[in-house]
A and B are shown apart, each in its own frame.
Chain A
């Protein structure tokens, strides 16, 4: 199948199955609406497409890395709700590559179908960029671990079913050496989830507190004290997907749409050469960024040059571009970008007497939330250190 045929298949499926109002809601840019994510994950699951990144043996469609990028782009641009990322991109691959047969049988089907949502318990208040300094403890007591501690920045924990956790099981040796990887039922007694409201006014982040939480020993992934190795493998894999090329393309298009519908001193903004030039400049940067992505994909598919720092380039450029395009989009909206358009009022409907311009709904919330993009997933300072360390290696 050619890439064009593949793309056409994806498009036809989306056109047939994705309700237009769900697409419109998703494209506004507010945080995911769980019922939409469940609905769309179930649709993808029926088609066998819910886990493009998983091997065919575990329920993946058996696509190439290129095909997965095409799929991601078509889904993003069409407004498909994204599947629960922690389940499909983080814990799922850990379970099928390191988990026991019993763990695979128990957890993978409910991820694939969208029944179970997962949250990630890695960061702690004093363990951010320096993750290995984490302090949450898991103490073995018979056939359970007893977990005490605190996790932070736990996306979507308020509506997840399970959480995967890095906890300290030993204080011997290097900080990295005594960490274990546990699967925790979020309904377990002793767990408290506290919302963290973001600067965009939405709720996706949480703090999760653990007080004497009992986790059955069968929920340990792999070997005790080896959790860091598994987590590192996880964070190192699939780095080409941090490029955010679809989001950047979407923002360019959104910017062009707004600029075509608003005026500046009596003329469409898009006809203003100063504005058009700046949009074009960003679009050229997106082109170069996308071309870099396809080089990395080719390397990944050929399994060569695995130590190249180019994946860190993708994270740095992808996130910094989205912030700059977002800023131009807001500039295009002008005064109509000033109202807050809060998620609670605008995501599932429009209030009576809404001010401003419907093209602005969600734009600033999305921009403000993505101020975090240069911080999360390994801050851009850490990414630049990785690039420099590889360049300067003797």
Chain B
């Protein structure tokens, strides 16, 4: 039902354009997209990551630019563990905190944090660079990970006054990076709970961003199928050429492999122990990134010239899959991480 409603809402959307953020976020809040995967006692609908994944997949099909996954599925997961009282406002759409954890040198290793926090009187100041913050311009609060003398800790910064360099990502989303130079920030959590929360949030990010990418892959596959059934060259439908039929079949195979491994990843983020959860999340990201680059790339190839234009949706889908495939270290780094965490399958 959730899926049908979302798909109906998105069906006439122009994939080439970013939607208006504010009305989209309000609509999403009304429809329950922000609370679907959250427990009832803090204002959620009592679902889990499987419910979130349905929403993520449909948002991906529609190439929605707003950071529903990043805020409502990843950051809310982080806060559930360390500051559950904050989560109700996310569910209602009145708060939009966003995790800023990745760094350029981390390459998909959630434990690699070079940003330093220094105690300064009663408060703290931060130094370092946080990169790849997709959705940064939509956030009202940034939650930043940093090293202290006692290990990893989490801090919060008002987005309005944060030293945030905003940029548009390749796939037309509101990205940003933080250049922290003695920037004051409030401590949110430290010690083992902070580390455990970051791990859980990172694994959720890998799996739910993959679900979002799956939606984009499905859409690319459908557009390509339709094109093969309408475009004629040499007096016949190009879908009659065996080489192109096989390519379409391979795109389908890759999309279904992605769907399957995402289901494994969802099981893991719902109830596996942290080690197994991390390994499966890495596997999901690696496999779906591989599939996504193939499906997106071949969608362009089979469309020919129009595939490389801004005027046609398929290039926008490719760019979405491309950004997905690059984030958090990309396929290769998650393969290496899986190898290091081995022994789950």
- Distance of A170 Cα from B81 Cα, bound (Å): 75
B217 within 8 A of A: no
Is there contact, CB below 8 Å, between B293 and A327? yes
Tell me the smallest distance from the CB of A352 to a CB of chain B, in Å. Answer: 10
Return the chain A residue nearest B301 by Cβ. A374
B304 within 8 A of A: yes
**Majority secondary structure, A binding face:** mixed
- Distance of A201 Cα from B319 Cα, bound (Å): 11
Q: Which residues of A contact B166 (CB under 8 A)?
A: 355
Tell me the chain B residues, 294-338 only, with Cβ under 8 Å from chain A.
297, 300-301, 304-305, 307-311, 315-316, 318-319, 323, 326-327, 329-330, 332, 336
Is there contact, CB below 8 Å, between B112 and A375? no
User: Of A274, A323, A335, A342, which one neighbours B131 at CB under 8 angstroms?
Assistant: A335
Q: Which residues of B contact A385 (CB under 8 A)?
A: 243
Is there contact, CB below 8 Å, between B308 and A338? no
A330 within 8 A of B: yes
Tell me the chain A residues, 343-394 only, with Cβ under 8 Å from chain B.
353-357, 364, 368-369, 371-372, 374-376, 379-381, 384-385
A42 within 8 A of B: no
* Count of chain A residues with a beta carbon within 8 Å of a chain B beta carbon: 52
Return the chain A residue nearest B302 by Cβ. A381
B9 within 8 A of A: no
- Distance of A196 Cα from B301 Cα, bound (Å): 18
B105 within 8 A of A: yes
Surface stretch bound by A, among B21-29, B145-153, B168-176, B208-216: B168-176
B252 within 8 A of A: no
Tell me the chain B residues, 154-168 only, with Cβ under 8 Å from chain A.
165-168
Band of interface residues on B: 35 or more
Tell me the smallest distance from the CB of A74 to a CB of chain B, in Å. Answer: 30
Is there contact, CB below 8 Å, between A128 and B233? yes
Surface stretch bound by B, among A5-13, A50-58, A260-268: A260-268
A199 within 8 A of B: yes
Return the chain A residue nearest B312 by Cβ. A199
A123 within 8 A of B: yes
Is there contact, CB below 8 Å, between A199 and B326? no
Q: Which residues of B contact A353 (CB under 8 A)?
A: 165
- Distance of A77 Cα from B118 Cα, bound (Å): 46
**Contact (A339, B332) CB under 8 Å given A198-B310, A199-B319, A265-B109:** no
Tell me the smallest distance from the CB of A114 to a CB of chain B, in Å. Answer: 28
Is there contact, CB below 8 Å, between B109 and A338? no
Is there contact, CB below 8 Å, between A197 and B112? no
Q: Which residues of A contact B311 (CB under 8 A)?
A: 196-197
- Distance of A331 Cα from B107 Cα, bound (Å): 9
Is there contact, CB below 8 Å, between A335 and B327? yes
**Contact (A339, B169) CB under 8 Å given A130-B233, A330-B326:** yes
- Distance of A129 Cα from B232 Cα, bound (Å): 10
Is there contact, CB below 8 Å, between A375 and B308? yes
12 pairs, A vs B, C-beta closer than 8 Å: A196-B311, A197-B311, A199-B300, A262-B104, A266-B112, A335-B177, A338-B132, A371-B315, A375-B300, A375-B304, A376-B305, A379-B304
